[in-house]
Amino acid sequence: MQFDTLALTFPLVLAAHNLEEYAHDPTFIRHAHPALPRALVDRRVVRNALILLTTAAAILALWNYITPSPSRHRLCAIAVFALLLNAAGHLLLSLRRRQLLPGTLSAVFLILP
């Protein structure tokens, strides 16, 4: 399967990962990123950011599929790689803390394979 076709699944995987993180303990992000201002880790702000990020990923993947270009292909590849790094981070942090952190299940079963 070609990368551009496979990249169409990226927004779905990203949405599942974001939902897993958001549905977890509402204070998780506040505890995971204590240096961020409280206004940035508010539940509504996080929800809106996840929606915008997922929507942007869907637009990019569709745009690249409908009208392929080398630059959009590279952007899709960078986005997929960034999600892989995020998934690896979830897995390593869960192993280090010896507890299942939000996002780890989708990282292990959807992103890393």
pLDDT single digits (tens) 30-72:
777 788 888 888 888 889 999 999 999 999 999 999 999 999 9
Q: Would you say residue 26 has pLDDT above 80?
A: no
Of the candidates 101, 69, 79, 67, the one whose C-alpha atom is nearest the C-alpha of residue 9 is 79
What's the token pair of residue 74?
């590279």
The residues, ordered by sequence, that sit 6+ positions from 12 with a Cβ below 8 Å of its Cβ are: none
pLDDT score of 28: 73
For the chain, domain boundaries: 3-111
For a pLDDT cut of 70, what percent of the chain falls above it?
A: 97
pLDDT score of 95: 94
